[in-house]
Chain A
Amino acid sequence: MAETQTLRQWLLTDTPSSRRHAKLSALYQGWLSFRANTMAMIGLWILVVLVLVAIAAPLIAPHDPFVQSLGDRLAPLGTEGHVLGTDSLGRDILSRLIYGARITLYIVALVALIAPVAGLLVGTVAGYVGGWTDTVLMRITDIFLAFPRLVLALAFVAALGAGIENAVLAISLTAWPPYARIARAETLTIRTSDYISAIKLQGAGPLRIITKHIWPLCISSLIVRVTLDMAGIILAAAGLGFLGLGAQPPSPEWGAMISEGRRFILDHWWVATMPGLAIFTVSLAFNLLGDGLRDVLDPKAGE
């Protein structure tokens, strides 16, 4: 106990002894103020549980999500052995939801990697180089920003063919422009600051300045934006799945499950209701987490 106490004191010190000490201390204080935000913590817990469920899916799923059992089809909630009932092919809905968590996380993780990185590249280059490069890159960004996202993603998927990877690509193609805007704005304010001039005088080239000194400073506002965008990404992916353009059957993707359950909505409501609740819970969790992160990392942007 005494040791944790000293660790706490070490983390909360006003006089950090080294660079790493200061960094860890700042992180810890951010975590403390984040922890005080109950809603954000709820969001975080939901997501932690989701990740654990996705990892341990084969261990905790009561049934194989793909095995059909036409004798048990459309069993209602609370049926013995099928807590959340079964779908039209007799597959256990709970097991399908558990495996579906993997697909949702996979899509979100891929988009959250591709879109911000693309935006960061475009934004920092535009902001740092300036001139014609800036004008052209930002014009392209504006064009993409002005597009209706879902409809454009639809058209992309139509061109590329249905499937998870293509859905990810389509969503990323429509999701990067806001990141480019943010990264450019950050770059513009950083570019003219004294410490950048100092590094330049030391002989640092543009590549080094961008990667070592500008990117790290853009990260925090990008992380906030990514977290807030996750909910939208999940909804877009589910929408594509619902339209039959994302994950293909028999994949237990949540949007596709709603689409399957839609035909029986009036008589067997649980088939479409359960995956919808799952989507709602996860995207709510991302929104709560994003709000909390914004308050910690980017206090100016809040209300």
Chain B
Amino acid sequence: MALVEDNNKGRPSRAPFSEWFWPAVSTALKTLGSIAVTLVGLLFVTFIIGRVMPIDPVLAIVGERASQSTYDAVYDQLGLDKPLIVQFLYYLWDVLHLDFGTSLLNARPVSEDIARVFPATLELATLGIIFGVVLGVPLGVLAAVRKGSWIDQVARVVALVGYSMPIFWLGLMGLLIFYGILGWVGGPGRVGIFYVDVVPSVTGLILVDAALDGNWDVFKNAFSHIILPASLLGYFSLAYISRMTRSFMLEQLSAEYITTARVKGMSEWNVVWKHAFKNIRVQLITVIALSYANLLEGSVLTEIIFSWPGIGSYITTALLSADMNAVLGGTVVVGLIFILLNIFSDLLYKVFDPRAK
């Protein structure tokens, strides 16, 4: 009897190397191919957007009073006399070298600007996803385990409200209540005005920089500024993550192996966490990667509400001042990250979930 139980506990032995390695490689190659196609597709769309733009790129450079010959020279220099497909190839070449042109506003390379503002968005979205995962996963699991109970109802309402709430409005209300009335958090911006540029920028993430510098005053101040926008973003990913966790868990909990485990007399804790939860981990990581990508996008509106100097603010400021290079550069970068996260989650699923093969 004891022997049989031991066998049940042991993991199934792994298939021989060649049996799983080559299929994995072929999946990887196929995925790489589809990454390439999707990326070129993204660039093609932004390229077309750039072409139909009502703004004359030549005029933007030479100014209104340039002579016709200067205009023509710049026109040729920009390659606008070439066929569209050739122009697209030029564009591809530039983007591959991370060259998004120069900003019309400040004449700096767009890529430099994006590199400067991106850490702010990264910091915000990362804190947001941590918040969403830490609260959303347990909430979803509980809601599934106690299906129909009050906690399930709470989870349902939380998700429903999250799906229906305009994020920028919730941000405004948060500012009004927690900053304006209660004064619990710092206001808009990343740090208070007295703390700007106090710590040397190493990573661009203020919380990390302050901690590296050992300057806890700055850390505290930065934290009081980031906590509200990050929890708001986190709330939106919580809504999605908890809902998905719940439905994954319900699927597992209705499976026969769970009944078997319960019949064997296994404790409910072990049934839920060691059996059911273990089997949804891959699906869950997929969902988390997707909501991380969505957070990057959701941060566009949040950043404006909180005057957060990230990529969302950058794109919208550029939009309103008709700085097309900056808009398209920002769109490409956000799109790239979005697509890569999408593909990453897809790939993860294919590699680690045997059923997906």
Contact = CB atoms under 8 A, between A and B. Distances in A.
A148 B172 contact: no
B141 interface: no
A270 B54 CA distance: 38
B166 A284 contact: no
Nearest to A282: B164
Interface residues of A, number: 44
Interface of B: 34, 37-38, 41-42, 45-46, 49-50, 52-54, 160-161, 163-170, 172-173, 175-176, 180, 246-247, 250, 293-294, 296-298, 300-301, 304-305, 315-316, 319-320, 322, 324, 327-328, 330-331, 334-335, 338-339, 342-343
B169 A148 contact: no
Interface string A7-40: 0000000000000000000000000000000000
Given A154-B300, A155-B46, A158-B327, A284 B161 contact: yes
Nearest to B34: A142
A276 B173 contact: yes
B162 to A, nearest CB: 10
A194 B164 CA distance: 42
Interface string A262-276: 100110010011011
Interface stretch (A81-89, A181-189, A207-215, A235-243): A235-243
B161 A156 contact: no
Given A139-B37, A146-B42, A265 B49 contact: no
Contact of A242 (B160, B168, B173): B168
A142 B180 contact: no
B164 A231 contact: yes
Contacts, number: 136
B172 A262 contact: yes
A148 B316 contact: no
Chain B, interface SS category:
helix
A143 B38 contact: yes
B168 A146 contact: no
A235 B166 CA distance: 6
A151 B175 contact: no
Given A148-B296, A148-B297, A272-B172, 12 more contacts: A142-B34, A143-B45, A146-B343, A147-B338, A148-B335, A155-B327, A255-B166, A262-B305, A272-B169, A280-B164, A283-B165, A287-B160
Contact of A159 (B49, B298, B304): B49
Nearest to A236: B166
Contacts of A245: 319
Nearest to A262: B172
Nearest to A277: B169
Contact of B301 (A139, A152, A242): A242
A244 B287 CA distance: 32
B333 to A, nearest CB: 10
8 contacts: A139-B41, A147-B339, A155-B327, A159-B49, A258-B169, A265-B172, A265-B175, A287-B160
A235 B170 CA distance: 12
B168 A239 contact: yes
Contacts of B42: 143, 146-147
Contact of B316 (A149, A154, A159, A262): A154
Contact of B342 (A146, A235, A255): A146
Interface in A87-122: none
A78 B351 CA distance: 61
A303 interface: yes
A155 B49 contact: yes
Given A151-B300, A158-B53, A287-B163, A266 B338 contact: no
A82 to B, nearest CB: 21
A151 B297 contact: yes
A249 interface: no
A154 B298 CA distance: 13
Nearest to B52: A159
Contacts of A139: 37, 41
Given A151-B297, A266-B180, A303-B250, A158 B49 contact: yes
Contacts of B319: 154, 158, 243, 245
Q: Which 6 A-B pairs have the closest CB atoms?
A: A276-B169, A143-B41, A284-B164, A283-B164, A148-B297, A266-B180
Nearest to A228: B163
Contacts of A266: 175-176, 180
A140 interface: yes
B176 A269 contact: yes
A239 to B, nearest CB: 6
A287 B335 CA distance: 27
Nearest to A151: B334
A152 B331 contact: yes
A152 B247 contact: no
B302 to A, nearest CB: 11
A139 B33 CA distance: 12
Contacts of A149: 297
Nearest to A157: B319
